[in-house]
Amino acid sequence: MLINLINPARIKGKKMENANIDEWAQWIEDRIAKGYINYHDYNEFQNINCIGTGGFGKVYRATWESSDTVVALK
């Protein structure tokens, strides 16, 4: 299972070309509200370890506390 976590605090701290950061954050919040994206808080996961880094960021291995399921976080 791949879970893509989006941390608004990290997004707002990055410089994004050709994009308004407030519009980007609003787009994400809108998609969460409509159910297109499921929001999961970082504190729902434990044993978070980086397993890879590439051009699109880092991938982490973690355990989802609610089900003891091992997941990949991006």
* Per-residue pLDDT tens listing for the chain (74 residues): 555 665 555 555 555 555 577 787 888 889 889 988 887 888 999 999 999 998 888 999 999 999 999 999 88
Q: Binding-site residues for ATP, please?
A: 74
Residue 25 has φ and ψ, to the nearest 5°, of: -65, -40
pTM of the model as a whole: 0.57
Q: Binding-site residues, please?
A: 74
The whole-number pLDDT of residue 61 equals 95
Between CA 70 and CA 74 the distance in angstroms is: 13
